[in-house]
Chains A and B, each alone.
Chain A
């Protein structure tokens, strides 16, 4: 049976790849896409989501979500990483259909009711929509089966020394989601910083001559330029790795851990505090990915992107 998912995202270059992967996979049944401000603002990410789904030749509910975090406004956006339009300033064609009238939180709630116990959320942006839905609808926690999350880090952060971008962008929302009691698969920087695509692997994608792989490579060029500018050697595919694991969880190795999100520290706000050694005595609330099979991930992703006509 296909895994029923909603993709909650902020496309976003790596989000775009993840969306293409999900829509090409015969293992996933994408019920819809919810958008959240993150990599760029809510107008851009929503329009990007519509265009990306259109490019994939599908029509799906695309529901606009939060335009900013719960409480504390982000100081800096992701424009430097993702270009002004969120997808590396690569022009996308206009959407072939319009956005859904439901809000992201309402859509998550409706789908959870309709597919109770079978719905997984693949969350690859800030956690504002999920926290909003959980806050608005009591009982929702029991209806969502699992959250597959790109976010956080047991080790070092990226937006600050301690915090990863998706969590930092709305750490109050992230804290609420980790405390909600829904099982979480956490794909943090510990693995996604190692989910690297090589220049040769990108050249292979480009050499197919197909539109979607070439578009992905064009978008990734902006991403690569950013990473190079901060001295990071290698192109880390954060969101695609989380999506790949939604398709085949055996791409990662996991540790069951108790995870909290720091909301108050002056240096550590937005840090996912992962109890790797089990010193808190708390029961695990997450499966934290600690290792990966990079080669198999790249193959799975490439096969999906190349499967588009």
Chain B
């Protein structure tokens, strides 16, 4: 449960196996106070991701509002990732039906309510397409003052996972992503550059299962399913990249990550590159030799590049051990 002085967050997600594990991690960490959960379409349709979010929150015994977000991207047709997450969007463990109903508020309304009522800045944690957050920033710019930071999973400096240039969450709604990236709010981007290093191996999964508690076993079963896709298509990874939990892990353990300040904009008009996050470093020389090309005051994002994998897995394991 949340401690005094903890970080208030709004989770904005499309569970999704790694979204679900991000929720588990956020729930387990005392520094994080989940004020509400919004859903977005992406990994599966909005009906499925909303149901999945409610199931996970119920499983965790957390009765915070779960609010349904936009059914489709701002301007585009929805693409989903059934090949990764299965037909339900959360194939694998047999989760009980939700104990609580869906919130009467839409995701937009819930975000507004939480931000208006909070007397401290709230951290937004989007781990899906950025449709809901873009709507909020466009239509209630006054509430930017209530947002302390956005820690998002999405994008990549080099290479995509759904197309050669685009990461899935950004590709689903590139215009929304550009609205968020150009909002002026401080952003931490857990893109593929770091999440492809946040690997859980088959041995890690067994160590989670061996904890024996229901939450740990459930996460192991999520990962059993998630593993199948990555073994088939991305065998070179040596495990499954835990994309979304990075956005939460950075909030509680930034010291296990390395980052660089950069200007990030989203390609919305490419023939092959739509959804690419175009990253321009602010200063110095990157690990790939790309010279910094934008002044520091034009940098809008802290781009994460590396993570201490062992420490990241230990963080998850510890979370599963304390979870009731």
Report A's interface with B, CB cutoff 8 A.
Answer: 154-158, 161-162, 189-190, 193-194, 230-234, 236, 258, 260, 262-268, 271, 273-280
> Across the interface, which residues of B come within 8 angstroms of A156, CB to CB?
157-158, 279, 286, 288-290
Q: 18 interchain pairs (CB within 8 A)?
A: A155-B159, A156-B279, A157-B290, A189-B290, A194-B289, A230-B291, A230-B293, A265-B269, A265-B274, A266-B270, A267-B267, A273-B164, A273-B272, A273-B273, A274-B164, A277-B159, A277-B160, A279-B163
> Across the interface, which residues of A come within 8 angstroms of B45, CB to CB?
none
Interface residue from B157, B233, B273, B283 paired with A262 (Cβ < 8 Å): B273
Q: Which A residue's beta carbon lies closest to that of B163?
A: A279
How long is the Cα–Cα vector from A230 to B280 in the complex, in angstroms?
Answer: 13
How many pairs of residues, A versus B, come closer than 8 Å at their CB atoms? 111
Whether A193 pairs with B273 at a CB distance below 8 angstroms is no
> Across the interface, which residues of B come within 8 angstroms of A264, CB to CB?
269-271
Asked whether B278 is an interface residue with its Cβ less than 8 Å from the other chain, the reply is: yes
Report B's interface with A, CB cutoff 8 A.
Answer: 157-165, 233-234, 265-274, 276, 278-280, 283-286, 288-293
Which 5 pairs, one residue from A and one from B, show the smallest C-beta to C-beta distance?
A265-B270, A156-B290, A193-B289, A268-B273, A275-B164
> Across the interface, which residues of B come within 8 angstroms of A267, CB to CB?
265-267, 270, 273, 276, 278
Whether B291 pairs with A277 at a CB distance below 8 angstroms is no
Whether B267 pairs with A276 at a CB distance below 8 angstroms is no
Apart from the given pairs A231-B283, A265-B271, A277-B164, 20 other A-B contacts in the complex at a CB distance below 8 Å = A158-B291, A161-B280, A162-B267, A232-B285, A260-B271, A260-B272, A262-B165, A262-B271, A262-B273, A263-B271, A266-B269, A268-B267, A268-B270, A268-B276, A271-B273, A273-B164, A273-B165, A275-B164, A276-B159, A277-B160
Q: Which B residue's beta carbon lies closest to that of A263?
A: B271
Known: A277-B234, A279-B162, A279-B163. A155 touches B288 (CB 8 A): yes
Interface residue from B266, B270, B288 paired with A190 (Cβ < 8 Å): B288
> Across the interface, which residues of A come within 8 angstroms of B233, CB to CB?
278-279
How long is the Cα–Cα vector from A162 to B267 in the complex, in angstroms?
Answer: 10
How long is the Cα–Cα vector from A233 to B290 in the complex, in angstroms?
Answer: 10
How far in angstroms is the closest Cβ of chain A from B135?
A: 23
How far in angstroms is the closest Cβ of chain B from A235?
A: 12
How long is the Cα–Cα vector from A267 to B278 in the complex, in angstroms?
Answer: 7
How long is the Cα–Cα vector from A158 to B281 in the complex, in angstroms?
Answer: 12
Whether B161 pairs with A277 at a CB distance below 8 angstroms is yes
> Across the interface, which residues of B come within 8 angstroms of A265, CB to CB?
267, 269-274, 276
Whether A162 pairs with B276 at a CB distance below 8 angstroms is yes
> Across the interface, which residues of A come within 8 angstroms of B289, CB to CB?
156, 189, 193-194, 232, 234, 236
Q: Which A residue's beta carbon lies closest to that of B280?
A: A161
Whether B164 pairs with A279 at a CB distance below 8 angstroms is yes
> Across the interface, which residues of B come within 8 angstroms of A193, CB to CB?
288-290
Whether A268 pairs with B165 at a CB distance below 8 angstroms is yes
Interface residue from A155, A161, A234, A274 paired with B293 (Cβ < 8 Å): A161
Q: Which A residue's beta carbon lies closest to that of B162?
A: A279
Known: A156-B158, A279-B160. A268 touches B288 (CB 8 A): no
Q: Which B residue's beta carbon lies closest to that of A156?
A: B290
Q: Which A residue's beta carbon lies closest to that of B178?
A: A267
How long is the Cα–Cα vector from A275 to B271 in the complex, in angstroms?
Answer: 14
How far in angstroms is the closest Cβ of chain B from A64?
A: 32
> Across the interface, which residues of A come within 8 angstroms of B271, CB to CB?
260, 262-265
How long is the Cα–Cα vector from A233 to B289 in the complex, in angstroms?
Answer: 9
> Across the interface, which residues of B come within 8 angstroms of A262, CB to CB?
165, 270-273
Which of A161, A230, A231 has the most CB atoms of chain B within a 10 A radius of its CB? A161
How far in angstroms is the closest Cβ of chain B from A243?
A: 20
> Across the interface, which residues of A come within 8 angstroms of B164, CB to CB?
258, 260, 273-277, 279-280
Q: Which A residue's beta carbon lies closest to that of B234?
A: A277
How long is the Cα–Cα vector from A280 to B293 in the complex, in angstroms?
Answer: 31
How far in angstroms is the closest Cβ of chain A from B291?
A: 4
How long is the Cα–Cα vector from A232 to B286 in the complex, in angstroms?
Answer: 9
How long is the Cα–Cα vector from A162 to B159 in the complex, in angstroms?
Answer: 11
> Across the interface, which residues of B come within 8 angstroms of A194, CB to CB?
289
How long is the Cα–Cα vector from A78 to B286 in the complex, in angstroms?
Answer: 23
Q: Which A residue's beta carbon lies closest to that of B236?
A: A277
> Across the interface, which residues of A come within 8 angstroms of B158, CB to CB?
154-156
How long is the Cα–Cα vector from A153 to B286 in the complex, in angstroms?
Answer: 15
Q: Which B residue's beta carbon lies closest to that of A274?
A: B164
How long is the Cα–Cα vector from A190 to B273 in the complex, in angstroms?
Answer: 19
Interface residue from B162, B278, B284 paired with A162 (Cβ < 8 Å): B278
How long is the Cα–Cα vector from A280 to B290 in the complex, in angstroms?
Answer: 26
Whether A232 pairs with B291 at a CB distance below 8 angstroms is yes
Q: Which A residue's beta carbon lies closest to that of B289?
A: A193
Q: Which B residue's beta carbon lies closest to that of A268?
A: B273
> Across the interface, which residues of A come within 8 angstroms of B291, CB to CB?
158, 230-232
Q: Which B residue's beta carbon lies closest to that of A264?
A: B271
> Across the interface, which residues of B come within 8 angstroms of A157, CB to CB?
290
Q: Which B residue's beta carbon lies closest to that of A194?
A: B289
> Across the interface, which residues of A come within 8 angstroms of B268, CB to CB?
266
> Across the interface, which residues of B come within 8 angstroms of A280, CB to CB?
163-164
How long is the Cα–Cα vector from A193 to B285 in the complex, in angstroms?
Answer: 11
> Across the interface, which residues of A come within 8 angstroms of B292, CB to CB?
231
How long is the Cα–Cα vector from A94 to B202 in the complex, in angstroms?
Answer: 68
How long is the Cα–Cα vector from A279 to B81 in the complex, in angstroms?
Answer: 13
How long is the Cα–Cα vector from A262 to B268 in the complex, in angstroms?
Answer: 12
> Across the interface, which residues of A come within 8 angstroms of B290, CB to CB?
155-158, 161, 189, 193
How long is the Cα–Cα vector from A190 to B287 in the complex, in angstroms?
Answer: 11
